[in-house]
Amino acid sequence: MSDFVLEIGFEEMPARFLPVLTRNLKVSFMALLDREMIKYQKVESYSTPRRLSVHAYAVSAVQEKKEELVTGPPVSIAFDAQNSLTKAGIGFARSQQVDVSDLFRHPTEKGEYLAVKKIIGGKKTLKVLPDICAQAVNGLVFPKKMRWADSFTFGRPIRWILALFDDQPVDFSISDIQSGSVTFGHRVLGPGPWEVGHASEYFDILSGQGKVVLDPEKRKEMISTDTAGLAAEIGGNVVENQGLIKETSYLVEFPKVVLGGYDRKYLELPREVLLTSMETHQKSFGLADEAGNLLPYFLTVINNDPLDLDLVRKGWERVLKARLEDAMFFWNADRAITAEERLKMLDRVVFLASLGTMGDKSRRLEKISGFICDDLGESRKADIRKAALICKSDLVSEMVGEFPDLQGIMGGIYSSLEGYGQDISKAVYDHYLPLGPDSPLPSDIAGAIVSLADKADNLTGCFGLNLIPTGAADPYALRRQALGMIRIILDQGLDIDLRKLFHFCSRSYSGVKWKLDLYQAQESLLQFMSARLKSLWQGRGVDGKIVDAVIQAGSENILVAEKRLDSLLRFSTHPDFEAAVLTFKRIDNIVRKQGREDGVELQDDFNPELLQDAQEVALGRHIQEVVKDWDEQWNRKEFDLLFARLHELRPLIDDFFDGVMVMCDDQNLRQNRLNMLNTLSKRLGSLADFSALQV
């Protein structure tokens, strides 16, 4: 068994590209080895800003061999009347690179075909690896690519390729770069080039002579340990930011943590401003005391081990000081202007295309938030409407102009300083949340309502202008906003009808020339929301058929849909589930065929006096009992009880179908029986679309 190592060296790759590239290279390489029938023990991949590496352990020296049956043209075409091979038969032998004597007739269910048995595989691994390497590298996908040389595209220009199978170079090229047995180390600490004599020596040479920590997990561990150690030396703790630890680990090849400081006067700035200056702009960590108060220190990760550490520290401190000076100026300038004054300035800021100004949007948010409050019966309507009105005012502040990540946050801080009260300030602070699929949500109902209003307004406006996401393109982040609405609704348990909400949002606009009919836009938007909800549920591992059954029964009310999903999942564990599904699908099929498709007008009621046979009398009586309690149990969202009623109904329905002719000659009886089934079908269809549950 042999070792194989592949390294692609390039100019510094953006840190955000590397985690996905590292994983995809490993998955791709394993798939290619499997396809080529090359056995191996395991495959690992690594990355730094300047390289992607994959290492395969205990790789077999040759491919496995396998006999394969290849069929060609039918015998009737492969042979002529004299039983001689035709051009089609000879062409088949040539295409398979075999002698015509190797061909034989192979019987199948569809008749006899010309066939040949071939032994595939058995090649030396060293001969197969060049193609595997080229495919693995060429198959990498980047968020953005660069084009150079012979129009080859890659995330960054490739500078070298190392490929070794034990001590044998694997010969292939990418664009104009030829593979070899040479690697390069850290740009400063061990640049190289370094000759690698054997694949197993690669890691020792890279870490020892090249001074490169290849494994990102090892770099993360080093950063975490060193930051905690330096923080403890000054009696502080690192402000936790796992995302920053991960990002910095992909920014360096040899992590070195440096402690720096800044003037205490900057502690007057809000915590969020200080941390944004350090974390977002300087990729540095803040430090805090035991009470969580920030200390006038920071930790930064450098990609070097300098002789004069003080000189490096002073450089970082100088850069951070400049940013904090700017922040202090913006802080003082913004505090001289009130939210009401900034609100007037929003009338000079364009919102989107023909949707008016941010001032128009602010006034719409006030109305939409009020509508949501009325719909939910929320008592703090006045405060929530006020928060919605001023929530965008910080967009014209100096601080947000410099630090866009602080929009909403600064509005909440400024409104608190102006005395607006905790409820209003917190709602403004939180209204942009959530910022991603796993990011925090608004902490209370006020912020949740303002956030819903903001996202619903954005979605309604964009869909009305036909700015609907297509494929991977989503320039206005509408998928993120739709998912944010769903997460807020489920987190806060909000019983809200999205159809009514989006309709109100569309009526809140005035003077807009829509590109889509508003009804069409609203239907498209509701389908878009359903797709996001489906994606969320399937991401949790819920069976796709269960998801479709719930969504196709209606998902305008996200909370109700979620509760129906939970109940259907419990219902699906019952031993009689499959039998129940088949029974209820039969009802739906009859109602759909005789009513909706044949144009028969069915009623949501039936006449019990027209029921004749014992089976239909028993079923009719039970349906009446179900209908009597249905609306009350539905409004209380007692979906487990409603699904439980289905277990009671199933044997009665089966008896009905066994003993009663629905489509009898008597028109009145036939219509009444169809109406009875329709009455039940409408209730069942509101719980789930049983036709989607293929069992």
Residue-wise pLDDT for 267-321, tens only, equals: 999 999 999 999 998 999 999 999 999 999 999 999 999 989 999 999 999 999 9
Contact 339, 414 (CB under 8 A): yes
Q: Are 205 and 194 in contact (CB under 8 A)?
A: yes
Q: Where are the beta strands (DSSP E) in 351-451?
A: none
Residue 576: what pLDDT? 83
Ordered domains of the chain (ranges, CATH):
2-62+124-208 (3.30.70), 65-121 (no CATH), 216-334 (no CATH), 341-541 (1.10.3210), 566-692 (1.10.730)
Q: Which of 105-119, 444-458, 662-676 has the highest mean pLDDT?
A: 444-458
Of 52, 36, 269, the closest CA to residue 154 belongs to 52
Rounded to whole angstroms, the maximal C-alpha distance in the chain is: 102
* Residue-level length of the chain: 695
The pair of structure tokens assigned to 479 is 């998928």
Q: Which two tokens stand for residue 494?
A: 């909000």
Residues 573-596 have a mean pLDDT of 82
Cα 253–255–258 angle (5° rounding)?
Answer: 145
pLDDT of residue 664: 83
pLDDT at 46: 96
The tens digit of pLDDT for each residue in 19-31 reads: 999 999 999 999 9
The lowest-confidence range among 297-311, 516-530, 595-609, 614-628 is 595-609
pLDDT-based confidence at 7, cuts 50/70/90?
very high
Whether the Cβ atoms of residue 349 and residue 358 lie closer than 8 Å to each other? yes
Asked if 86 and 76 touch (Cβ cutoff 8 Å), the reply is: no
Query: Taking 70 as the threshold, does the pLDDT of residue 596 lie above it?
Result: no
Amino acid at 538: Q
**How far apart are alpha carbons 239 and 245 in whole angstroms?**
11
- Residue showing tokens 């002789």: 307
Specify burial of residue 235 (Cβ count, 10 A radius: 0-12, 13-18, 19+). Answer: exposed
Edge-first strand order for the sheet with 237-238 is 237-238, 284-288, 294-302, 256-261
State yes or no: pLDDT of 215 exceeds 70.
Answer: yes
The pLDDT value given to residue 68: 77
Residue bearing the bigger pLDDT, 489 or 671: 489
Residue 303 near residue 255 (C-beta atoms within 8 A) = yes
* Distance (Å, whole) CA 377 – CA 365: 18
Amino acid identity at 123: K
Sign of the Cα torsion 680, 685, 687, 693 reads: positive
Q: Is 311 helix (H, G, I), strand (E, B) or coil?
A: helix
**Per-residue tokens: 648:** 């009671």
Q: What stretches of 285-392 show up as alpha helix (H) in DSSP? A: 309-335, 339-345, 358-376, 381-390
- pTM over cut 0.85: no
The pLDDT value given to residue 695? 57
The band of 219, judged by pLDDT with boundaries at 50, 70 and 90, is: very high
Residue 81 has pLDDT above 90, yes or no: no
Q: Tell me the average pLDDT across 127-151.
A: 86
- Per-residue pLDDT at 341: 93
Average pLDDT of the chain, as a whole number = 91
Phi, psi of 514 (to 5 degrees): -75, 150
H/E run at residue 249: helix 242-249
Encode pLDDT of 347-404 as tens digits: 999 998 789 999 999 999 999 999 999 999 999 999 999 999 999 999 999 999 999 9
